[in-house]
Structure 1
Amino acid sequence: MSSRGSYLGTNLWRLWPALPGLWWLLGLGLLLGLQAARCAPFYLPGLAPVNFCEADRETPTCKSSVALFVNRLDSVESVLPYEHNTFDFCQDSGKKSPSENLGQVLFGGQITSSPYKFSFNKTETCIKVCVKSYDTANEDQKKKLDFLKKGIQLNYQHHWIIDNMPVIWCRDIEGREKYCTPGFPIGCFVTKSGIARDACVINLEFNKSNTFYLFNHVDITITYHRENETNWSIARLVSARLDPKSYKHSDENHLTCHGPPMEIPGEYTDKLNVTYTYSVKFEENKNNKSGSRWNYVLESMPETNIQWFSIINSFVIILFLSGMVAMITLKTVHKDITRYNQMRFPEDAQKEFGWKLVHGDVFRPPRSRMLLSAFLGQGIQVLIMTFITLLLVCLGFLSPANRGALMTCAVVLWVLLGTSAGYVSAKMYKTFRGVQWKTNFLLTALLCPCVIFANLFIMNLILWVEGSSAAISFGALIGIFAMWLGISVPLTFLGAYIGSMGKFKHPVHINQVPRQIPQQTFFRKPLFGMIIGGVLPFGCTFIQLFFILNSIWSHQMYIMFGFLFLVFIILLITCSEATVLLCYFHLCAEDYHWWWRAFFTSSFMAVYLFMYTVYYFITKLQIADVASTILYFGSSMIMVLIFFLFTGTVGFFSCFFFITKIYSVVKVD
């Protein structure tokens, strides 16, 4: 017995790798430095900047024409985006669109040219773009006017682009602070009771009840920087801002861009002419170079201090959990080893207690082993995809200037990582003593993807019916389906075939007869453990989730991926340590059914995430129509499923390797 205790004492150091969070903490300082360098926007060198110069100095490498592109229109009161030409705005006669990548197709971010075209460094004032006429006696024109008024009432926002930069609108709010958004409204509405809604509060002239005010004029300010010290004629654009105005142009041949606002009465029954105009000016900025041309977008993001507060709060949780796990492995287990060293008689070894009593049952295969294996395979696939995508963003390979690149990268990685899903699923299924590895492969390859694809198909049908620009074309759906069936599924089979050849070896034998589990108190039952285990990861991430939801549903630009990557690592550590801690407590209560419990403990965070999306829907959005509600919760369920898979997988494997390590060091069999 003493020799056995000596073996345990000399190999205590082998327990250290079982502390998953502590190893992650060693690289956390490096991640902080990476975040500090990347939290500001940047311009990817791979996207060649455009040189501009005056019209009389134009060359093949330096152009004078500055084109303005328009993106889809969206609203916080409806999740249905629409293309620019869906509304009756001015259209470009030679309409052309830049080529779209997979991410833009999936998000419906169609970018098209506009009739707004400027000459570099040429100031223009009150230039007519087009005139739109509406006669309520004409049914087609009446529908266009009604749709325009509906867009104003729902506060739909323009999104314009100049030289691949978003055109932002800044306005002063209370406390002398400036609030900027990468879009500006079509107009605003004053209700029948005289309440000014949305942008109507910025102008005291918008005061007539039951009246729509259309923003038919924009003052555009474009800032540039002279890049070449030897050739001052070459410049690059570094920012674009605008200020929407409303003017009722009485004479379209003599435009002054002054006077009363452009009003559209709520009960309009006459003819109406709307003249769209613009003014543009160029300003030189000698400090802001093109390499940091996205810095001006930060003016709309004053929440950096909140991000740091969230991360510090998460660090406190990590330190607490790391201390608890370290106390268990380096103190509690050490105490057991010391007791073994002090044993003098063989019969003393029979007086085991706690987690050592279940050593013959701790690796007994769980129920529904095939389903658990499939979840683990899909979880690994999502986890690796998310990690690589966020790492590439932080390293600068996925610039915000390259729209749709983030989603394209994520989809391509998910398809190519089918091998990892099949391998992990088959290997765990073999470890669980499963024999139907082909059925397990089919479940891994089809279960979760089919659920997501069915969800997307239903939402796409709604978008088709509503005529939204976010609807994916039938050809694109077939292409995505072909990528999954032709690439991901075969790779999953390859991984499953390799994984089925081996299994994880258990350090202890499994008893023939299962041990009876003592009666458990409420605090030791699985539900209580899952509730506690899900709170900690959610507490580390809910502030970041707020900004992510804002970027998706409130249409705010999200570019602080350094913070996001750091919070992602914190989430992995928290899930890992919380699951290890709670699984150890359950094993001490002689409950050896830990397989599913380890998965659900950390994945219960997805339940809190769903509750948070409901709270966000009620408190932050003003969605009223049924179609938008279905689309919101359908998209939220996809996000919840993704979090369920990868958080549960992180917790499961942390607990699996921790338990394997302590039972291999403390040989109680």
Structure 2
Amino acid sequence: VQTRLPMCLKAILSLYSTIELFVNRLDSVESVLPYEYTVFDFCSENTMKRPSENLGQVLFGERIEPSPYKFEFKKPAVCQKVCTKSYDINSPADKAKLDFLKKGMLLNYQHHWIVDNMPVTWCYDVEDGQKFCNPGFPIGCYVTEGGRAKDACVVNSNFNEKDAFYIFNHVDITIHYHIVEHEQLGARLVAAKIEPKSYENLNDDSPDCSGGPKFLKNKHTGPFKIPYTYSVNFVEDKNIRWASRWDYILESMPHTNIQWFSIMNSLVIVLFLSGMVAMIMLRTLHKDIARYNQMDSVVSTLIRKVFSYSNEDAQEEFGWKLVHGDVFRPPRKGMLLSVFLGSGTQIFIMTFVTLFFACLGFLSPANRGALMTCAVVLWVLLGTPAGYVAARLYKSFGGEKWKTNVLLTALLCPGVVFADFFVMNLILWGEGSSAAMPFGTLVAILALWFCISVPLTFIGAYFGFKKAGIEHPVRTNQIPRQIPEQSFYTKPFPGIIMGGILPFGCIFIQLFFILNSIWSHQMYYMFGFLFLVFIILVITCSEATILLCYFHLCAEDYHWQWRSFLTSGFTAVYFLVYAIHYFFSKLQITGLASTILYFGYTMIMALIFFLFTGTIGFFACFWFVTKIYSVVKVD
């Protein structure tokens, strides 16, 4: 009995332990600017102790704070007072607070509360009898002068006062749990649901959650009070396991069927391109190579001697073989191309490893900010392959300014991204948004860049320049061959435009969900689909670029290096066009600052995507060109 008594006491205490509720930033689908909880003058906790936040949470603007909402486990509460906020319209400070609160309700800003690292969800019925669980709930809503209810005001027919803001000053919280047997934990929380309501509460000292809804007239004068209350109830649920407690949120988002449609659509494109590449490799090239190699036979040698038929004359029949002496000629602006390829390699490896970890479940939505933290840390640590690839390619291009190459690899593309990000951060600072990065975090990111990433880039470049240059299978002629007049379809610009269509067609459905998760604040969790689409994108970019590269070589155009990079990299232009279409057709963002922020961050994503896809196309073409010219016997 004495040995079991401490275990029993621990279990009993855990059953009646305090449940603490945390509050996060408030955001809106009509504004890019998130704000901290305290900015809206809600009831706040006196203590300023805040949970530690990782780098990803800071970059996404999450600001988790303790709240005055605290419950005792399995102790229901009805209409408990939290605090009462009093305002005087004649006071400029109070008027500014109310105006900001009205602006938040007008733009449909939403709370994000957290219990036991789980989002407190607002579940409501949608069409077809389905239930949608939103990991947030509105602070209020607005009824226009014409009597039209906006946003959440449509859920209550009593919200009929015209030109009025209805405040959700009461919440009914239901916490689901299950008892854990054979463990000392006692119980585990498996769901937390909330229903926002609005009550007048004439008696502020002892509210009873009765009376009509609490509203604020748009042209209200005089004093105004907002009493905040809550009710909490506990429900035992034996059907939900603790490991599956996020499922009810994710299952309410009906994306799975659409995702499979996207995958099948992409696979059809991949099979089509694979068939085309296979036809070229197995039929066209096989015939060409066989005809060239046939010339080295004894019979063909006798024929050349009798008829004075030289090997050079035979080569005039075939297009891609004619440019064997120029196909590995260094490209123009080789310095810039090598820098882009080094940065693209860094981004490619970072993306692959991040998505792989996400598929394994290490970067799930439950690990807040883990995805962005992992991506940033990997990018910093991958400076070595970036420097190595840039230096090795630049050396193979015949470049000698190795110091400039290393500095540009370490500073050019990251510098452009950082400059754009810094300008966006200045706008966020000016607007007082929680997404504005603190000065200390900004210094920490610069330290990661200059103290870790840049030195690693120099180390990679050292080994890249130290290693011997890339040996090409054919020699390069001293005098460049003249390129004949090209048809419309083999000219650079039309080919580049056509090359980005198929890769974009593989990802645009997945891209819709990614943009929704970023700008519409929806939860993204289907990393398995995303990783599969990532593989399909790599294959599609490679095959489409190889096809166009072969056609250009057959047209005796040997400038394939930049063209292969830009062909697949042009997918980023389609991404940018789609992002613009998404902004005007899907989003309800208003305000100049939010518009600038949207397009500023979109430009960063487009640049990263451009380097990523361009690098895939270049290395696919490099492999293809090296392969076909290495099996051809050249005199």
TM-score of the aligned structures, taking structure 1 as reference length: 0.90
Q: Is the 8 A contact 2:172 2:195 kept in 1?
A: yes
Q: Which residue of 2 aligns with 1:390?
A: 355
Q: Which residue of 2 aligns with 1:542?
A: 508
Q: 1:291 aligns with which of 230, 239, 243?
A: 243
Q: 1:57 aligns with which of 12, 28, 32?
A: 12
1:175 Cα deviation (Å)?
A: 2.6
Q: Which residue of 1 aligns with 2:562?
A: 596
Q: Which residue of 2 aligns with 1:34?
A: none
Q: In the aligned structure 2, how far is the partner of 1:204 from the partner of 1:53?
A: 50
Q: Which residue of 1 aligns with 2:325?
A: 360
1:342 Cα deviation (Å)?
A: 5.1
SS in 2 for 1:528: helix
Q: Which residue of 2 aligns with 1:106?
A: 59
Q: Which residue of 1 aligns with 2:368?
A: 403
Q: 2:49 aligns with which of 96, 101, 107?
A: 96
SS in 2 for 1:505: coil
Q: In the aligned structure 1, how far is the partner of 2:252 from the partner of 2:437?
A: 30
Q: Is the 8 A contact 2:365 2:523 kept in 1?
A: no
SS in 1 for 2:175: strand
Alpha-carbon deviations, 1:11-44, whole Å to 9, x = none?
A: xxxxxxxxxxxxxxxxxxxxxxxxxxxxxxxxxx
Q: Is the 8 A contact 1:418 1:491 kept in 2?
A: yes
Q: Which residue of 2 aligns with 1:116?
A: 69
Q: In the aligned structure 1, how far is the partner of 2:168 from the partner of 2:415?
A: 45
Q: Which residue of 2 aligns with 1:196?
A: 149
Q: In the aligned structure 2, how far is the partner of 1:443 from the partner of 1:262?
A: 60
Q: Where in structure 1 are there 5+ consecutive unaligned residues?
A: 1-51
Letter in 2 for 1:323: G
Q: Which residue of 1 aligns with 2:451?
A: 486
Q: 2:547 aligns with which of 555, 564, 581?
A: 581
Q: 1:608 aligns with which of 558, 574, 588?
A: 574
Q: Which residue of 2 aligns with 1:6?
A: none
Q: In the aligned structure 1, how far is the partner of 2:34 from the partner of 2:93?
A: 22
Deviating more after overlay: 548-557 vs 364-373 = 548-557
Letter in 1 for 2:314: K
1:90 Cα deviation (Å)?
A: 0.4
1:300 Cα deviation (Å)?
A: 3.3
Alpha-carbon deviations, 1:627-669, whole Å to 9, x = none?
A: 1111111100110011000100011001001110110012234
Q: In the aligned structure 1, how far is the partner of 2:186 from the partner of 2:11?
A: 12
Q: In the aligned structure 2, how far is the partner of 1:162 from the partner of 1:464?
A: 29
SS in 1 for 2:231: strand
Q: 1:377 aligns with which of 334, 342, 363?
A: 342
Q: In the aligned structure 1, how far is the partner of 2:10 from the partner of 2:625?
A: 72
Q: Which residue of 2 aligns with 1:282?
A: 234
Q: Where in structure 2 are there 5+ consecutive unaligned residues?
A: 1-6
Is the aligned partner of 1:70 residue 2:23? yes
Q: Which residue of 2 aligns with 1:566?
A: 532
Q: In the aligned structure 2, how far is the partner of 1:300 from the partner of 1:613?
A: 26
SS in 2 for 1:514: coil
Q: In the aligned structure 1, how far is the partner of 2:412 from the partner of 2:530?
A: 29
Alpha-carbon deviations, 1:603-646, whole Å to 9, x = none?
A: 10100111111111111222221111111111001100110001
Q: Is the 8 A contact 2:12 2:186 kept in 1?
A: no
Alpha-carbon deviations, 1:560-584, whole Å to 9, x = none?
A: 1111111111111111111111101
Deviating more after overlay: 612-621 vs 415-424 = 612-621
SS in 1 for 2:146: coil
Q: Which residue of 1 aligns with 2:37?
A: 84
Q: 1:412-427 alignment to 2 at 5 Å?
A: 412-427=377-392
Alpha-carbon deviations, 1:121-150, whole Å to 9, x = none?
A: 222111111111111112211111111001
- Note closer, same or farther for the CA distance 1:96–1:55 as it changes in structure 2 (3 Å cut): farther
1:469 Cα deviation (Å)?
A: 0.7
Is the aligned partner of 1:267 residue 2:222? no
SS in 2 for 1:520: coil
SS in 2 for 1:351: helix
Deviating more after overlay: 617-626 vs 592-601 = 617-626
Q: Percent identity?
A: 66
The structure 1 segments of at least 4 consecutive aligned residues displaced by more than 3 Å after TM superposition are 52-56, 340-343
Q: Is the 8 A contact 2:81 2:206 kept in 1?
A: no
Q: In the aligned structure 2, how far is the partner of 1:521 from the partner of 1:422?
A: 38
Q: Is the 8 A contact 1:55 1:64 kept in 2?
A: no
1:366 Cα deviation (Å)?
A: 0.4
Q: 1:158-307 alignment to 2 at 5 Å?
A: 158-229=111-182, 234-307=186-259
Q: Which residue of 2 aligns with 1:662?
A: 628
Q: Is the 8 A contact 2:292 2:633 kept in 1?
A: no
Structure with more relative contact order (C-alpha pairs < 8 Å, separation 6 or more): 1
1:256 Cα deviation (Å)?
A: 2.5
Letter in 2 for 1:425: A
Letter in 2 for 1:652: F
Q: Is the 8 A contact 1:126 1:257 kept in 2?
A: yes
1:338 Cα deviation (Å)?
A: 3.4
1:595 Cα deviation (Å)?
A: 0.5
Q: Is the 8 A contact 2:292 2:632 kept in 1?
A: no
Q: Is the 8 A contact 2:11 2:186 kept in 1?
A: no
Q: Which residue of 2 aligns with 1:324?
A: 276
Q: May I ask how many residue pairs the two structures share in their alignment?
A: 615
Alpha-carbon deviations, 1:582-602, whole Å to 9, x = none?
A: 101111111101100000000
Letter in 2 for 1:299: E
Alpha-carbon deviations, 1:504-526, whole Å to 9, x = none?
A: 11000001111111111111111
Q: In the aligned structure 2, how far is the partner of 1:375 from the partner of 1:509?
A: 26
Q: Is the 8 A contact 1:54 1:119 kept in 2?
A: no
Letter in 2 for 1:75: S
Q: Which residue of 2 aligns with 1:45?
A: none
Q: Is the 8 A contact 1:227 1:289 kept in 2?
A: no
Q: CA RMSD in A?
A: 1.7
Deviating more after overlay: 284-293 vs 346-355 = 346-355
Is the aligned partner of 1:428 residue 2:390? no
1:96 Cα deviation (Å)?
A: 2.1
1:229 Cα deviation (Å)?
A: 4.1
SS in 2 for 1:277: strand
Q: In the aligned structure 1, how far is the partner of 2:63 from the partner of 2:16?
A: 25
1:222 Cα deviation (Å)?
A: 1.1
Q: In the aligned structure 1, how far is the partner of 2:396 from the partner of 2:11?
A: 74
Q: In the aligned structure 2, how far is the partner of 1:237 from the partner of 1:53?
A: 20
